Amino acid sequence: MKGYSTGDVARILELTPRQVRAGVHAGVIEPERGPRGEYRFSFQDLIFLKTARGLFAARMPARRVRGALEKLREQLSRGRRLTGLHIAVEGRRIVVSDGEARWQPESGQILFDFGVADLARRAAPVARVAFAEARQERGDTLSAEEWYRWGCELEAAAPAEAAEAYRRALALDPRDADAHVNLGRLVHESGDAETAREHYGRALDCRPDDATAAFNLGVALEDLGRPREALAAYENALALDPGNADAHYNAASLCERLGQPADALRHLKDYRVLTLGRPR
């Protein structure tokens, strides 16, 4: 993929090219190299550099900053959406949040918040131009894997182009479960729960042990007003990943609606154990 140049990153983050290169030399980000040896940055690199800049400005020690970035990498590797992530300084703690759950101990007051959504908005024009150039120059030669990687890179900054990339990947490889899940999520977020349901179902056909696809299928079925099928999907997701607290919570809600109070209580108890560490 083309990625962002040093100049692109400097403009988007309002830095100098020298400051961008300093972030590379400090080990904050590890960009790839282009054909002439130049740096090529991903959107994730932009997040790391913007986050590190804010944390250093908040006078956080370098060790803490590196630890926060490691936590962020872990979150991204588990499939969290880039635009939903925040790095914040709360009191004396660095906390990572996706808007719903925190993965470091909570504190009271948010003092600084380095959200990604605004960064995605500013990066969008560059991402769209890069994708258009790749589509025009190499569209007929890109593999399914390359189209999938384009989709992953574009999701945060240019979701419409990301959806196109995933569709092109699936045209070449209809059994790419990851592309089905990601495309399903994008169309689901746009309001098309039925098409999302189809993609989640196809992902499970290709990879029956995909807990994420099973959970997302439950959400889509619930949005479509099919509670019994949604409950079955959540139960499947929990069979594949018993630690999915959200699946327990959603299943508890559906069981209550369907007149299954004992099952609702069981799921709610498991949810509380997972989120609070103890039953109530």
Whether 138 has a pLDDT exceeding 70, the answer reads yes
- What pLDDT does residue 81 have? 54
Q: Which of 90-99, 149-158, 208-217 has the least mean pLDDT?
A: 90-99
**More confident position, 277 or 264:** 264
Q: Could you give the number of structural domains in the chain?
A: 1
- What pLDDT does residue 95 have? 64
- What pLDDT does residue 238 have? 95
CATH of the domain at 235: 1.25.40.10
Identify whether 240 is part of a domain: yes
Identify whether 137 is part of a domain: no
Identify whether 219 is part of a domain: yes
* pLDDT tens digits, one per residue of 21-46: 888 887 778 888 888 888 888 887 88
Tokens 């479960």 correspond to 177
**More confident position, 65 or 214:** 214
Identify whether 265 is part of a domain: yes
**More confident position, 58 or 222:** 222
* pLDDT tens digits, one per residue of 85-110: 566 665 555 666 655 555 442 232 33
Q: Percentage of the chain surpassing pLDDT 90?
A: 34
Highest mean pLDDT among 113-117, 125-129, 193-197: 193-197
CA distance 185 to 173: 18
- What pLDDT does residue 202 have? 97
Identify whether 134 is part of a domain: no
With b for 16 or more beta-carbon neighbours within 10 A and e for fewer, the 128-155 pattern comes to: eebbeebbeeeeeebebebbbbbbbbbb
Give the model's confidence band at 111: pLDDT under 50 very low, under 70 low, under 90 confident, else very high.
Answer: very low
Question: Which domain, by its residues, includes 231?
Answer: 174-280
Identify whether 161 is part of a domain: no
Identify whether 144 is part of a domain: no
C-alpha 14: how far from its chain's center?
24
Identify whether 5 is part of a domain: no
Whether 80 has a pLDDT exceeding 60, the answer reads no
* pLDDT tens digits, one per residue of 52-72: 887 777 777 777 777 667 666
**Mean pLDDT, residues 174-187:** 94
Q: Which of 75-84, 85-94, 161-170, 215-224 has the least mean pLDDT?
A: 75-84
CA distance 105 to 186: 30
CB atoms within 10 A of CB 243: 10
- What pLDDT does residue 272 have? 81
